[in-house]
Amino acid sequence: MFQGSLPAMVTPFNNGEVDVNELKKLVNWHIEQGSRGLVPVGTTGESPTLTHAEHEQVVSEVINEADGRVPVIAGAGSNNTAEAIRFVEHAKNVGASAALVVTPYYNKPTQEGLIAHFTELAKIGLPIIIYNIPGRSVVDMSPETMGELAKLNEIIGVKDATGDLARVCDQRLTCGADFIQLSGEDATAHGFNAQGGVGCISVTANVAPGLCSRMQEATLAGDYSLALKIQDKLMPLHKAIFTEPGLVGAKYAMSQLGLCKDEVRLPLTPLSEPTKQKINSALKHADLI
């Protein structure tokens, strides 16, 4: 169920409020473009600045609009286990296919703490994909710890944003070949799948869902030559979007395509002019404008 290109959806805003109409349009556009699933309210969805009510509203709206056409993996992480429980329970209650749960950030739990945190969440009974992103959470879940958690039926996979392609093989050994490994880094998604991954929870797919989907489908079919040609078209865009915080770059690029405003919430700020120019050049390289 969880493979291929899975956009880590932005949350569109209009004058400071969640723009539900634009959100629904994006759901349908992503599905039409070939995305295999949708991932609302992760970091790219500006979850750190959404209220709890807004977080739950976005998840519900995406699930309702998708209407079973593709799976929805609801962002549901927190550094507070009780808060994460709330988000996972809500995701289950409104019909999410799975929850994406980041390793607890800032408070830097031990590996034992990570096991305890995810074990509590697994009791809710919704499939969980671990989000391992040491660069943001300042804690790295080891392959051995992930292997322990993979013994739980509800812990079904990982979004790996370590950038370490060797991790895919390490985690195949500790978690098993059926453990779902999804890349969390667009620039290395091609190589990630060659090592045993099956997809990407992608920021760039907000901007170029068709290209990202075709690249992923090519790798799943074993045509890495075709996939590399597509990745060559996408690479400048991957890099340009992340010149400044990725979601800001993604929203700006989407605004250039008429998909949504480039509005973000503080402490994020609009892009600098040089970065805008870099993104515009990358959009042209990808034949998107």
153 pLDDT higher than 90: yes
User: What are the C-alpha distances in Å from 267 to residues 24, 270, 286?
Assistant: 26, 10, 30
Distance from the Cα of residue 236 to its chain's centroid:
19
Residue 65 to residue 199: CA distance in whole angstroms: 23
Q: What is the dihedral of CA 95, 162, 6, 210, to 10 degrees?
A: 170
User: Which two structure tokens, joined as six digits, stand for 228?
Assistant: 């590399």
Task: State yes or no: cis peptide before 209, omega within 30 of 0.
Answer: no
Exposure string over 83-98, b if 16+ CB within 10 A, otherwise e: ebbbbbbbbbebebbb
1 pLDDT higher than 90: no
Judge contact between 177 and 196, C-beta under 8 A: yes
Percent of the chain with pLDDT over 70: 100
189 pLDDT higher than 90: yes
Residue 4 to residue 12: CA distance in whole angstroms: 24
Q: What is the SS3 assignment for 16?
A: coil
DSSP letters, 137-197, are: HS----HHHHHHHTTSTTEEEEEE-S--THHHHHHHHHH-TTSEEEES-GGGHHHHHHTT-
Secondary structure string (H, E, C) spanning 216-234: HHHHHCCCHHHHHHHHHHH
How confident is the model at residue 20, as a pLDDT?
98
Residue type, 39: V
**Domain residue limits, the chain:** 4-222
Please give the positions annotated as active site: 131, 159
Chain segment 110-140, per-residue pLDDT in tens: 999 999 999 999 999 999 999 999 999 999 9
Chain segment 23-59, per-residue pLDDT in tens: 999 999 999 999 999 999 999 999 999 999 999 999 9
5 pLDDT higher than 90: yes
192 pLDDT higher than 90: yes
Chain segment 49-89, per-residue pLDDT in tens: 999 999 999 999 999 999 999 999 999 999 999 999 999 99
Chain segment 217-272, per-residue pLDDT in tens: 999 999 999 999 999 999 999 999 999 999 999 999 999 999 999 999 999 999 99
| Polymer length in residues for the chain | 289
How confident is the model at residue 50, as a pLDDT?
97
- Secondary structure percentages of the chain, helix, strand, coil, to 5: 50, 15, 35
- Nearest Cα neighbor of 274 from 253, 233, 243 is 243
Judge contact between 87 and 188, C-beta under 8 A: no
Q: What is the pTM of this model?
A: 0.96
Residue 21 region by backbone torsions, left for phi larger than 0, else alpha for psi between -120 and 50, else beta: alpha
How confident is the model at residue 114, as a pLDDT?
98
Beta strands in the chain (DSSP E): 4-7, 13-14, 17-18, 73-75, 98-102, 128-132, 155-160, 180-183, 199-202
Superfamily of domain 4-222: Aldolase class I (3.20.20.70)
